Amino acid sequence: MKKILTIAGTRPQLVKIAAVSRVLRESFAEVLVNTGQHYDYNMAGVFFDELNIPKPDYDLGIGSESHGRQTGKMMMAVEEIVEKEKPDAILVYGDTNSTLAGAIVASKLHIPIIHIEAGLRSYNKEMPEEINRIMTDHVSTLLFAPTDLAVANLAKESITEGVHQVGDVMYDAVLYNIALAEEKHSLSDYDLSSGEYVLGTIHRADNTDNKNRLEAVLKAFSALEEKVYLPLHPRTKSKIDSFGLNSILEQANNINIVEPISYLEMLLLEKHAKAIVTDSGGVQKEAYFAKVPCITLRDQTEWLETIETGWNQLVNPLKVDLAEKLSKLRFGQPIEDLYGDGNAAEKIVVILKNYFK
């Protein structure tokens, strides 16, 4: 049986592993490495419990560092694991430092690289994720693209060999887990009513590391008539403290700040929100899956399809009145197969089996 070494380390990647690993392990031996890029238990550890993700074979616990230090530490640790395990391929997801570390190690050791969620582009190279995904795509052997646009993006860069459009594994995960979310959790647990609150998430450096932008985001939330439910990323909380912006939250009577919540809780709250305001790539898509209008606090997005179908709008918090924007939100026209049919994981495994023949 062929051995695949899977590398991950963030919440969204763990969600994708939950969708893929249960199918992958029927035909392959999988060795799972958790880099610990999201090191807080509420940020990542709880995912292993509630989504029945296999326990990592290696838990690196690297945690938060500057991009260079974090990626370097991951590469050193992953290289040792690869030399010990001798996998037939290395599988990486998305566009994080964990992804790049795995891809570089594999390419240097001449091991086939499997990249799930290949071909995404925001065309903003100031975003570290953009650099990670471009570099990973250019050294990958098998590239599993979630959309036709992702395939076209790769073709623009002369990447056509080994490219497969299989749909989005996050859609697989949502379809699989939404019933479980509603079974385990209830809106009454959060003192919320369906369609009467705005769900917010803020964590990207563009927003959190710029005092003016972070202040504008918090003031925009506080100006809304709706209740805002805001699970706060630890790094965002740290920046609010260091910039002295806590007074905005203290004076706002509509913002409910909570600790990071689990994936299943997030699915439930996304489904019943009036609108979602985020800077997360994954949440943009989950809003589309839930058919809830989304405002993305970024200047670009790698998920252009959500914009084109009218379910998502890009907003610069320094330039736009968020309350006015929310009041004018209108539903777009859903396209049912935009991100596949919910069987991306099965398609990936079939292609992998054919590749290894």
- Burial of 243 by CB count in 10 Å (0-12 exposed, 13-18 middle, 19+ buried)? middle
**205-229 as b/e: b if 16+ CB within 10 A:** ebbbebeebbbbbbebbbebebbbb
| Cα four-point dihedral sign 183, 188, 189, 191 | positive
Q: Give the CA count within 13 Å in the CB-facing half-sphere of 249.
A: 19
Query: Is 203 marked active-site?
Result: yes
Quick count: other Cβ atoms within 10 Å of Cβ 178?
18
Instruction: Kindly name the residue from 38, 185, 203, 233 that is annotated as catalytic.
Output: 203
Contact predicate 255/222, CB 8 Å: yes
- Distance of alpha carbon 5 from the chain centroid: 20
Residue 295 CB: number of other CB atoms within 10 A? 25
Q: Which alpha helices (H) appear in 223-316, and where do they start and end?
A: 234-243, 246-251, 263-272, 281-290, 304-308
Token reading at 235? 């790094």
Structure token pair of residue 258: 């909570």
Q: How many residues comprise the chain?
A: 357
CA dist 329 to 277, 323, 333, Å? 12, 10, 13
The whole-angstrom separation of Cα 30 and Cα 115 is: 15
Q: Which amino acid is at 193?
A: S
Listing DSSP states for 66-93 in one string gives -HHHHHHHHHHHHHHHHHHH--SEEEEE
Q: Which residues are catalytic?
A: 203
